[in-house]
C-alpha cells in the first residue's frame, strides 16, 4: 500500500480484503446496485429537504415549517383570498374536524374483526402500488405566521410487470369538490383548481427485497416480522406498529389474505382500544381503534372495515396545544384514506 502499511492476517489465512473480494457482496451486474432514478418515496423526501426550511421529524406526520417572511406572506394572501371569496370557499382553509364515534354504537373487539377477516375468503388479490388521499396540516411560526392550513392530496401509484411504475399526485379535497385547493408542491403555499395535477412521473424498473418494497407475506407471524423490518427501533410499540402499517399501505394494496394477516397482527398487539363505529372521510362505514403516542403527544385512530378488517384510514390528532404554531388540542394533524 502507498503508506507502507499492510493488512495483518493470520499465517496461512487470506486477509479480510481478499475474503471480501471473494464474497463479492455488491456485484456490478446486479440491477439493484446500478445507477437509476430515486424511488417515489425517496424523491418526495428529497423534495421536502430541498424546499422546506424545517423538514418534518420522521416520527411526526404533521408538517411543521418555519416559513420565511415571504412564504408566510403568501400563506396570508392565500388564506385571505379563500376567506373573503364566500362561504363556499372557507372550508378549504379550515382543518378537517376529528372523526366522531357514532353515539350508541357497540365497539367491536379487534380479535372478532380479525376472525371476520380470516373467514372472508381470498377473493381480492394483492397489488403493488397504492391509491391514497391525505390531509396534512401545514403550520408556521415566528414573525408573520398565520393560522394552520390543510393541504389535501390524492396519490395513485401503479406498478407494471417490467418493474417500472407511475405516480400521479393531484390536489383535491373530496369534502369540497370543485373548490380551490391549497398546495405546497413547489415549496411555496398557493391555491390551485380542484383536480390540479401536481406531478405525473414514470420511474424505471427497480427491485428491492427489503420491506416495504418487498412483497408482503400473508401469514400473521411473517407479516409481523415484515413490519418490524420496516421499523428497526428496539421496541415496536403500538404507535411504531401503526406507522409501519401505514408505510406498507403506501406501497401495497393488500389482498384478502394479507388483510386478514394484518388484522390478526393488530389484534395480537393489544395496544388498540375499540371505541365504536365511525363514517370515514370518504363516506365508508368503519370501526375505530385508538391509541396514544406519548413521545409526540398525539392520538391516533385507525379505521378498519367492519366486514373484512381492511385498513380504511388513519387519523392523527393533537392532544395538547402548541401556541408557537397556532395549534390547538384536538385538531387533526394528518389523515390518510386508502382505497383499492
Name the pTM for this structure.
0.75
Please report where in the chains the cell 393531484 appears, as a residue.
170
| DSSP conformational letter for 62 | S
pLDDT at residue 22 above 70?
no
pLDDT tens digit string along 230-258?
Answer: 987 767 899 999 999 999 999 999 999 99
**SS3 state at 97:** coil
pLDDT tens digit string along 48-91?
Answer: 454 443 333 333 334 444 444 344 444 444 444 443 333 344 34
Q: Where are the domains of the chain?
A: 40-339
171, exposed or middle or buried, with CB in 10 Å at 0-12, 13-18, 19+? buried
Amino acid at each position: 500500500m502507498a503508506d507502507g502499511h499492510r493488512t495483518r492476517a493470520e499465517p496461512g489465512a487470506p486477509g479480510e480484503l481478499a475474503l471480501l473480494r471473494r464474497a463479492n457482496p455488491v456485484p456490478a451486474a446486479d440491477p439493484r446496485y446500478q445507477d437509476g432514478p430515486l424511488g417515489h418515496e425517496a424523491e418526495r423526501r428529497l423534495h421536502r429537504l430541498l424546499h422546506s426550511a424545517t423538514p418534518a421529524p420522521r416520527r411526526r406526520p404533521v408538517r411543521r415549517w418555519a416559513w420565511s417572511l415571504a412564504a408566510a406572506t403568501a400563506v396570508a394572501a392565500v388564506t385571505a383570498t379563500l376567506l373573503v371569496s364566500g362561504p363556499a370557499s372557507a372550508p378549504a382553509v379550515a382543518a378537517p374536524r376529528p372523526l366522531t364515534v357514532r353515539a350508541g354504537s357497540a365497539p367491536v373487539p379487534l380479535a372478532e374483526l380479525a376472525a371476520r377477516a380470516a373467514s372472508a375468503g381470498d377473493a381480492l388479490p394483492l397489488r403493488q402500488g397504492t391509491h391514497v388521499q391525505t390531509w396534512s396540516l401545514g403550520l408556521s411560526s415566528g414573525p408573520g405566521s398565520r393560522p394552520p392550513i390543510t393541504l389535501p392530496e390524492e396519490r395513485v401509484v401503479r406498478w407494471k410487470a417490467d418493474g417500472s411504475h407511475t405516480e400521479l399526485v393531484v390536489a383535491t379535497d373530496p369534502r369540497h369538490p370543485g373548490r380551490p385547493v391549497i398546495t405546497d408542491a413547489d415549496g411555496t403555499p398557493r391555491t390551485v383548481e380542484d383536480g390540479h395535477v401536481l406531478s405525473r412521473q414514470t420511474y424505471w424498473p427497480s427491485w428491492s427485497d427489503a420491506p416495504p418494497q418487498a412483497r408482503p407475506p400473508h401469514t400473521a407471524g411473517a407479516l409481523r416480522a415484515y413490519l418490524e423490518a420496516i421499523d428497526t427501533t428496539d421496541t415496536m410499540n403500538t404507535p411504531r406498529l401503526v406507522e409501519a402499517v401505514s408505510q406498507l399501505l403506501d406501497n401495497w394494496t393488500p389482498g384478502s389474505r394479507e388483510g386478514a394477516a394484518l388484522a390478526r397482527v393488530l389484534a395480537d398487539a393489544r395496544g388498540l382500544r375499540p371505541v365504536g363505529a365511525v363514517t370515514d372521510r370518504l363516506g365508508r362505514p368503519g370501526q375505530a381503534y385508538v391509541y396514544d403516542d406519548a413521545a409526540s403527544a398525539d392520538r391516533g385512530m385507525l379505521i378498519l372495515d367492519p366486514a373484512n378488517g381492511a385498513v380504511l384510514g388513519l387519523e392523527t390528532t393533537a392532544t395538547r396545544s402548541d401556541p408557537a404554531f397556532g395549534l390547538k388540542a384536538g385538531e387533526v394533524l394528518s389523515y390518510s384514506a386508502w382505497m383499492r
